Amino acid sequence: RSEFQISLNQSLNNFGSVYLSGTQRDYWGRSGTQRTYTAGYNTSIYGVNYGVNVSQSKNSDSNNKADKRLSLNVSVPLSRFLAGNTYAGYNMNMNYAMNTDQDHNTSQQMGVSGTAMSDNQLSYNLSQSTANHGQGYGGNLSATYNGSAGSVTGGYNYSNNQR
């Protein structure tokens, strides 16, 4: 197997950054070449982080169409907007991610994570995901408490396939 990869990253100063990458893979004992191209943009506006990414992957020996994907990520530091109230010292973030392909198969995930209590002794994560227009879904809740006598961790997961 051989692989060739090139990537370019460019800062746009206050306007974020862009990146481009390309990969070519050849496999021993198999004809054809796999080529993957990726482009993305990341920025932060008032502390809210945004990212968008597009990619395309294709095997030269395949009659199948190229695999094209688009992803979007947003991260909001909720604690930044809580200054001056009880929660100001806590670390709290909301995250959103969306992925879709050329056949409109789409998955989304939204969650909140962070820490709480006076010394950030409690950490937590709560997330909910959906896929294929709501046909698949799931969620997760987990928390860890670190106290002077030890730590305790608990969690709960569910999906439309299991609970």
Q: What is the pLDDT of residues 12-57, one digit of tens each?
A: 998 999 999 999 988 777 777 889 999 999 999 988 999 999 999 9
Global pTM? 0.77
Q: 85: pLDDT confidence band, cut at 50, 70 and 90?
A: low
Q: 135: pLDDT confidence band, cut at 50, 70 and 90?
A: confident
pLDDT per residue as tens digits for the range 51-64: 999 999 988 777 77
pLDDT (0 to 100) of residue 160: 84
Contact 163, 148 (CB under 8 A): no
Q: Which two tokens stand for residue 22?
A: 């390309």
Contact 128, 108 (CB under 8 A): no
Higher pLDDT, 80 or 76: 76
Question: Residues of the chain with pLDDT > 70: what percent?
Answer: 91
Q: Does pLDDT of 140 surpass 80?
A: yes
Spatial separation of the C-alpha atoms in residues 123 and 152, rounded to whole Å: 11
